[in-house]
Structure 1
Amino acid sequence: MSVLDFDRVTVTFGRHTVVRDVSLAVPEGAVVGLVGGSGCGKSTLARAAAGLVPLAGGRITVDGGSPRGRISMVFQDPYSSLDPRMRIGATLAEALPRRTPDRKSEVARLLDLVDLAPDRARMYPHQLSGGQRQRVAIARALAGDPDVIIADEITSALDVSIQGTVLNLIRELHRRMRLTVLFISHNLAVVRYVSDTIAVMQEGRIVEHGPADDVLSAPEHPYTRELLEAVTP
């Protein structure tokens, strides 16, 4: 795993600037939580890292070089991100590197990695629950052996009862594999559960950034305090 670095990144849509001069590093083997309200630009920043939207300024690198082919994303809606016409096994096999010698065994290993039974390989996405589909999406992201994983609002489309199991899976995978993860959410309670470091985004800018314990115990920016108050009973 490697370092993902955003260096003064700006993204515009027409005349509207969505991401403004953002600099942020995701260290090797760390989980950095990026939190902010709807429309703040956090998902746009993620899509820029994955090459899905162009930059208007700045650079995004992995270990100082191009991020192309080195980043995998897990998207918010696990149903729309999976091809409904493909069985789960075929979806995972398609994401494997060409050099993979035994694709069937590797598919089984990936399913086991996300706590799904091997027989799920024969099923279609509509035959799985939302939580199971998101586990498949995580397995697919891992299939290409990426340097960085970007998880973009991966629990927001799930029932509250299922969200915890997916978050626990992310924590366990990080512990076992030392994944480098940019974890994006609008929910500070979710981010605080999985992250080593937290960055707070408002109106396209990073307004606060630091170790999770520091940001949560002594937030410096009013917007961070507002987010924290929203999840404090």
Structure 2
Amino acid sequence: MRELRFDGVSVRFGSRGHRVTAVDGVDLTVPAGSVVGLVGESGSGKSTLARAAVGLVPLSAGRVTLDGAPVPTRGRRPLQMVFQDPYSSLNPRMTIGATIAEAVPRGTDRRAEVARLLALVDLPDRMTRYPAELSGGQRQRVAIARALAGRPEVLIADEITSALDVSIQGAVLNLIRDLQRTLDLTILFISHDLAVVRYVSDTIAVMYRGRIVEHGPADTVLADPQDPYTRELLASTEGRSR
């Protein structure tokens, strides 16, 4: 378990004459062994923050650390990310087993490790299948297994249920909770849906226009939201549940 921390992180795109600030001075801590839910509407900057954490977009300011040290960019990557669309993140020409095996560290019995990972995500006996032969929920489980293949201590899950049917979302959320407990993972769980975030999270951070506008224990944020935007998200969630 390791602590993921964002200190004054900003991300800007464009030229000097026309810059867009996607993330604006974010301070956020994901304590070791916990699940922090980051929630906000599309365009709020939450996915950009996630991509900055794993080095897919450069920082304009601030830093991202694991236990106070910079996130490694070479060798074993203790931070892994699961993306929104499982189909586009999997090679359609590779079997499930080969896809996961690519991420397994050298010196490991890859076949045995792939079998172990597929069992962890409740997909035994799928090693020789191709992505097109699986459902959306199964493909997302494969993407999770591949992220776990590198044995990360921190997992970033970016909108991993938004492309799934509502009937399948619950099973994937239960899987995330089980994996967090079994593997002692630190997880940053990102979603636009407050109902989804509160199901898995110990702490909730609300992001709006590139900034964190509210942050606290999940029960506190949900019972007594302080920011108008959080209250708006909560009202829309309660409206859908009626």
Q: TM-score, normalising length from structure 1?
A: 0.98
From 206, 211, 227, the counterpart of 1:205: 211
2:61 maps to 1:53: no
> What corresponds to 1:109 in structure 2?
116
2:96 maps to 1:92: no
From 22, 26, 32, the counterpart of 1:28: 32
| Partner SS for 1:112 | helix
| Partner SS for 1:105 | helix
> What corresponds to 2:225 in structure 1?
219
How far 1:85 moved relative to its partner?
Answer: 1.1
What is the alpha-carbon distance in structure 1 between the residues aligned to residue 68 and residue 153 of structure 2?
Answer: 13
> What corresponds to 1:156 in structure 2?
162
Gaps of 5+ in 2: none
How far 1:99 moved relative to its partner?
Answer: 2.4
Identical positions, percent: 71
- Letter of the structure 2 residue corresponding to residue 94 of structure 1: E
What is the alpha-carbon distance in structure 1 between the residues aligned to residue 37 and residue 133 of structure 2?
Answer: 31
2:88 maps to 1:67: no
What is the alpha-carbon distance in structure 2 between the residues aligned to residue 85 and residue 2 of structure 1?
Answer: 35
> What corresponds to 2:8 in structure 1?
8
What is the alpha-carbon distance in structure 2 between the residues aligned to residue 167 and residue 152 of structure 1?
Answer: 13
| Partner SS for 1:120 | coil
- Letter of the structure 2 residue corresponding to residue 171 of structure 1: R
How far 1:65 moved relative to its partner?
Answer: 1.4
How many residues align? The count is: 231
1:148-200, CA deviations, whole angstroms, 9 ceiling, x for partnerless residues? 10000000000111111000100111121221000000000000000000000
2:52 maps to 1:44: no
- Letter of the structure 1 residue corresponding to residue 7 of structure 2: D
> What corresponds to 2:183 in structure 1?
177
- Letter of the structure 2 residue corresponding to residue 108 of structure 1: A
Query: Which stretches of structure 1, 4 residues or more, deviate above 3 A after TM superposition?
Result: none
What is the alpha-carbon distance in structure 2 between the residues aligned to residue 141 and residue 72 of structure 1?
Answer: 6
- Letter of the structure 1 residue corresponding to residue 5 of structure 2: D
From 153, 165, 170, the counterpart of 1:147: 153
| Partner SS for 2:188 | strand
